[in-house]
Amino acid sequence: MSALPKLNATPKHELVIPSTKKTIMFRPYLVKEEKILLMAFESQDEQTSMRAMLDTIDACCEGDYVKEDLTTFDIEYMFTQIRGKSVGESIDLIIKCQECDTQNEININLSDIDIDVPDLDNVIELTDDISLELKFPSFKAFTDNYKQGITDSEFSFVVIKECIGAVINGEERIDLKDVSDKEIEDFVDSLSTGQLQTIGNFVQQIPMMKKDVEFDCVKCGHQNLHKLEGIQSFFT
C-alpha cells in the first residue's frame, strides 16, 4: 500500500511583535492545533486559553523572539494575526442590544484590530538616589504567579512586582533577574503608598486588544456602542 502524500507547504506571513517591534514569520495553524484551541476556548478559563494560544504561537512562528518574554498583549495580537490567516479575517459575534436585550449578530474584521503600545517613560524616581526601571510583564510571569483562589488585590501586587525590571541605585543598575523573590518582596513592601501608586499607574497602561463596535439593533433600531476589551471578548 502506498503511503499518503504529504500536503503542500503552508504559506508564510510576516507580523511585527508589539512589545519589541521585531518582525517574524508565521504560518497558519493546522487542524491539530485548532483542536487544542477549541477545547481551551470551550473551557471558558482565561489562563487555559492563553496557554493554548501561546503554544500555538510557538508552533506557528519562527524568528528572533523568546516565547517566555512575550507579554499578554503580544500573545493577543500574534494569535489574532495567525487566526486571521488560518480560518479567515472576520468573525461573527453575538452582542446584546443595550436598550431591548435583543441578540445582534455583528461581523468584525480582525485586520482592523491593532494594539497601541504607549510610548511611556519607564524610569520612575523614588528618591534622589534610587529609581525604578519598569517593564511590561511577560505572560509567563502572570501564569507562574497565578494561583487558584488568589484574590484580586493579591494578584495586583504580583503584577506590580513583575513590572519592576531593575532598581537603579546611584550609578549601579540592579537587574531583578539576579535578585531573590524574597528580596524583591521585601523591597516592594518598603515602598510608600505614593510610590506604589506611581507603579500602579504604569500597570494601568498595559495595552490590550480593544475595539469599539457601533451597530443599530435589528429589532428596536437603538444605536449601540459596545466596547470589546481583551482577546476573550473576541473569541468567546
- Per-residue pLDDT of 182-230, as tens digits, reads 999 999 999 999 999 999 888 888 888 888 999 999 999 999 999 998 7
Q: Is residue 4 part of a domain?
A: no
Q: Is residue 131 part of a domain?
A: yes
Residue 141 confidence (pLDDT): 79
Instruction: Answer yes or no: do 149 and 44 share one domain.
Output: no
Q: Is residue 35 part of a domain?
A: yes
Four-CA torsion 24, 233, 163, 51, nearest 10 degrees: -60
| Domain range enclosing 146 | 123-203
Query: If we measure between CA atoms, which residue out of 64, 116, 108 comes closest to residue 89?
Result: 108
Q: Is residue 8 part of a domain?
A: no
Instruction: Answer yes or no: do 89 and 134 share one domain.
Output: no
Instruction: Answer yes or no: do 89 and 145 share one domain.
Output: no
Q: Is residue 102 part of a domain?
A: yes
Residue 103 predicted with pLDDT over 70: yes
Q: Is residue 5 part of a domain?
A: no
Q: Which three cell numbers stand for residue 157?
A: 501586587
Q: Is residue 149 part of a domain?
A: yes
Residue 25 confidence (pLDDT): 96
Query: If we measure between CA atoms, which residue out of 66, 61, 54, 51 comes closest to residue 20?
Result: 66
SS3 229: strand
Instruction: Answer yes or no: do 107 and 214 share one domain.
Output: yes
State pTM to two decimals.
Answer: 0.81
Instruction: Answer yes or no: do 110 and 162 share one domain.
Output: no
Instruction: Answer yes or no: do 216 and 191 share one domain.
Output: no
Instruction: Answer yes or no: do 66 and 139 share one domain.
Output: no
Average pLDDT over residues 18-27: 94
Position of cell 513592601?
189
Residue 21 predicted with pLDDT over 70: yes
Strand order in the sheet with 23-26: 13-16, 23-26, 61-62
Instruction: Answer yes or no: do 153 and 188 share one domain.
Output: yes
Instruction: Answer yes or no: do 36 and 105 share one domain.
Output: yes
What does the angle CA 126 – CA 130 – CA 133 come to, to the nearest 5 degrees? 80
Q: Tell me how many domains the chain contains.
A: 2
